[in-house]
Amino acid sequence: MMNPPHYLLLLTLLMDGGTPPPPSGGAKADAGFMSPSPSATKPDGGTPSRAPILAEGIEWPDDLRPLATLDGPALMAAHAALQKLLASFPKEYASDCSYSAKAMEVVVAQHGGLYFVEINRRLEKCGWAVPGFNPSPHWFELYAVSPEGKVLARYPYHP
């Protein structure tokens, strides 16, 4: 099983207008934005790099910069990815909050002319789970979306 990409400290757009969770461990807060602490460095002082992941014709970046302001195309990308995810759930789950937009947290970043939309499930938004509870801690969805709002690909990951 593959771990999720290392850009989980992105600016979070919460579906209910809430605030992002407080920084933890290796992150520090800066006027409401979270920035990762330096990781291991190369002898020359730079950060280590890895070969990019290429799948479905998309170069999937390892580190994305969050968008502080969501413009129209970023909102269209987030909406398209969320609709794609919701449509993928079995119809029997349609009335279950755990599989609704209410339970989803959406993160939008931009790289190489595409939007990358990460969706995480936050069951505490449904009112029956304690904050941080997640029966599938590695569950996430990541989509590459064009500026026109067309979902181009889903990150090749299966929890």
Per-residue pLDDT of 48-103, as tens digits, reads: 667 778 888 888 888 777 778 889 999 999 999 999 999 999 999 989 998 899 98
Number of domain units in the chain: 1
pTM of the prediction?
0.59
With respect to residue 92, please indicate whether it lies within any of the assigned structural domains: yes
Task: Tell me the CA distances in angstroms from 25 to 9, 12, 14, 36, one per residue in order.
Answer: 11, 17, 21, 10
Whether the Cβ atoms of residue 70 and residue 13 lie closer than 8 Å to each other: yes
Please state, in angstroms and as integers, the Cα–Cα distance from residue 15 to each residue in 19, 36, 48, following that order: 10, 23, 34
SS (H, E, C) 37-103: CCCCCCCCCCCCCCCCEEECCEEECCCCEECCCCCHHHHHHHHHHHHHHHHHCCHHHCCCHHHCHHH
- Does 19 fall in a domain? yes
The kind and range of the H/E element at 121 are: strand 114-121
Position 6 in a domain:
no
% of the chain surpassing 90 pLDDT: 36
Identify whether the C-beta of residue 50 lies closer than 8 Å to the C-beta of residue 62: yes
Give the pairing type, strands 13-14 and 27-30.
Answer: unpaired
The residue range of the domain holding 118 is 13-37+55-154
Integer Cα distance of 123 and 121 in angstroms: 6
Mean of the per-residue pLDDT values of the chain: 73
Report if residue 108 sits inside a domain: yes
Is residue 140 a part of any domain in this protein? Answer: yes
Residue 129 lies in a domain: yes
Q: Is 133 inside a domain boundary? A: yes
Positive or negative, the CA dihedral 62, 63, 68, 71 is negative
**Would you say residue 49 lies in a domain?**
no
